[in-house]
Chains A and B, each alone.
Chain A
């Protein structure tokens, strides 16, 4: 199992570096995952990546099942610099990928990493305090759109 996990980490390293090619424009201030349940995205911008290393982010989200574990890989030297990745697994499936160490001259890598795996939050779910950008739901007609949350969001941004 350990070998399998390390193999996965190896792949993830490759992925991280590969993804960093795809995404170019620079100008960033470092990155922190703010996927914590109920976290205010605006207020959570601390530049220390290690702050976001918790495998079950979330204030108020009590214990989730016991099958979650976090594995940190060895540091790998790449031509961009040292890379170290932490993977959270739930029932053997990767649920979160986190860069513990990345070449510091490219903050994009952190961003890509921290948001690599979609996260689901199921609490505090009134649309007003959830700070959402978009809404996914059953297809609405142009009539239905008028009453939709998405419509409210579109208007709010103008």
Chain B
């Protein structure tokens, strides 16, 4: 059976689907994609009439918004707390939960596919990925980690299943990650920070926070149960937390401390 692939522009980026047999019933992917656009309409900071736009301007209260809005905002608070303030939905000064929304939507989209009978799915949104069961019984998913310094090249390949992979970096959009503690672009020597774990929502927030933290992120992620990190420094050096070691690496500079 050939993989069922689809790319859908949404939320200012592109969502990629890779579904392996058994495929979901006809119409499932359309339903998932329709749902993503609905989420975009609710949370877009670019559409003045979105719930989040009106909420940010104080025109409506949370209770007047779609029920997902309260869920997302609660999640944002949890994530800010879990990252010691290194992740914030107010980093740019205005309410912008879009980082959380994307991860949350990827997670939900994956769950929808699984529940529809497609356990071997992969859903990516702008570089963050949630993967279900292995694509084939005899091999795991292979996720390329983009090399932040050499466009089109990979810095590493991650294999596994039932995992989420999120990468934060400046390569694609310029210095767009603000340090919520200073309000200025993060400048901690990291070019790209990848976090692996179960939840894409958490992995995404952790990756952003770890990017902001820089070198100290290594100890921080080591202490997070179930999450691992792989970092590329602006000087080209790399490190990985110990749980990612086994496959490995000929010469990961400094990875073993």
Contact = CB atoms under 8 A, between A and B. Distances in A.
B196 A118 contact: yes
Sorted from nearest, which 7 A-B pairs have the closest CB atoms?
A: A137-B146, A119-B247, A138-B169, A157-B5, A118-B160, A95-B246, A28-B137
Interface size class of B (residues with CB under 8 A): 35 or more
Interface string B230-257: 1000000010101111111111100010
B124 A134 contact: yes
A120 B156 contact: yes
Given A122-B155, A127-B154, A135-B143, A141 B12 contact: yes
Interface of A: 23-25, 28-35, 37, 41-42, 44-45, 55-58, 60-62, 64-65, 67-68, 88, 90-91, 93-96, 107-108, 111-112, 114-123, 125-127, 130-142, 144-145, 147-151, 153-154, 157-158
A91 to B, nearest CB: 5
B63 interface: no
Contacts of B244: 95, 118-120
B128 A139 contact: yes
Contacts of B3: 157
B247 A58 contact: yes
A67 B169 contact: no
A41 B117 CA distance: 25
A144 B172 contact: yes
Contacts of A30: 137-138
B217 interface: no
B171 A138 contact: yes
Contacts of A149: 144, 146, 152, 154
B148 to A, nearest CB: 7
B86 interface: no
A64 B245 contact: yes
A153 B148 CA distance: 18
B245 A90 contact: yes
B192 interface: yes
B171 to A, nearest CB: 5
Given A35-B247, A138-B167, A149-B146, 19 more contacts: A35-B159, A41-B139, A45-B138, A64-B248, A112-B161, A120-B240, A120-B248, A133-B135, A136-B127, A137-B145, A139-B172, A140-B172, A140-B173, A142-B14, A145-B7, A145-B9, A145-B14, A150-B16, A151-B7
Nearest to A125: B154
Interface string B7-41: 10100111010100010000000000000000000
Contact of B127 (A35, A44, A122, A138): A138
Contact of A117 (B122, B194, B246): B246
Interface string B99-141: 0001000000000000001010010101111010111111111
A134 B143 contact: yes
